[in-house]
Amino acid sequence: MSEKINLKLKSATELLNSLFEQDLADEEKYDPEVVERIKQHLGQPSVHSKAGARLADALVSLAKTRAEEVQS
């Protein structure tokens, strides 16, 4: 009962960083451009209050750019 608990949690930023650097770095499994945008908007220690909407804009813009590239 009196055993000393040594549970050190990773901070959220550390957790996200390790996800971005390991699991999500698999380019065959996850679209690297999408991962990059999520990292850019949500992977920082301080996240903007409208980061979710901004990320959506960035992803829509990515889809449009790709559509234009397909056309050309």
Partner 1 sequence: MSWAITQLSVRGVKGILNRAGDFDLAGGKSIAIYAPNAYGKSGYADAVEYLFSQDGAVEHLGKGGADSEKGGKHAIPHVLAAERDITPEVSVELYNPDSKVTMSSIREVRTGRVDAIPSELEPIICAAPAHRILRQHDLRRFVVDMEPRKKYSELSRWLGLEHLEQVLTHLTTTEQTLQRTNPDREIDERVQDITKHTNEAVTRYDQLATLQWCAVEAKRHLGIGRDISIDSLDDVDLCLQSLRERRNEIVIRQGKVSEAFEAKRAIEEITSEFPSENGQLQICETALAKAVAAEEQEEHIRAIAKNSIFQKVWNSAKDILETQTTDECPICLTPWGKTAVSSQHDALQHITGGLKSLADLTKAQSKQKKTNDQLTAVTNDLISRLRNVETAAKKLSLEGIADDVSNLAEEMKKLLETRDLPSQLQENYKTLLQQCHQLFVEKLPIVLHDVKIEGIPKPAKEIEETIEQIRMLKITLIRLAELQRESEEYRKVERSFSAVANVIQETAATLVDEVIKALQKDVIAIYQKIHPKSVIPNIYIEPDTESKTLIVRVDFYSPDRRVPPAGYLSESQINTLGLALFISSVRFFNQDFPFIFLDDIVSSYDADHRGRIVDVIAEDLLDFQVFLTTHDERFYSMLKSRLSGKRWQFERITSWTFDQGPKREVDALKSDQIGGLIKEGNAQIAGYAVRQYMEEWLDKMCAKYYAYTLHKRGPKEFDRTLFDLWGPFINRLKEIRGNFFEKHVKAQSCFQRVSAHSLLNYYSHWQANPYEWSSIGDVKYVFSEFLAFQNLFRCHSCSKELKYDHDDNRLYCTCGGQIFPSV
CB-based contact 62:33 (threshold 8 Å): yes
Of 6, 32, 11, nearest to 21 by C-alpha is: 32
Q: State the minimum distance, in angstroms, from the CB of residue 12 to partner 1.
A: 4
Q: State the minimum distance, in angstroms, from the CB of residue 40 to partner 1.
A: 12
Q: Which residues bind partner 1 (CB under 8 A)?
A: 1-2, 4-13, 15-16, 19, 23-24, 29-31, 34-35, 38, 41-42, 45, 47, 51-53, 55-57, 59-60, 62-64, 66-67, 70-71
CB-based contact 36:8 (threshold 8 Å): no
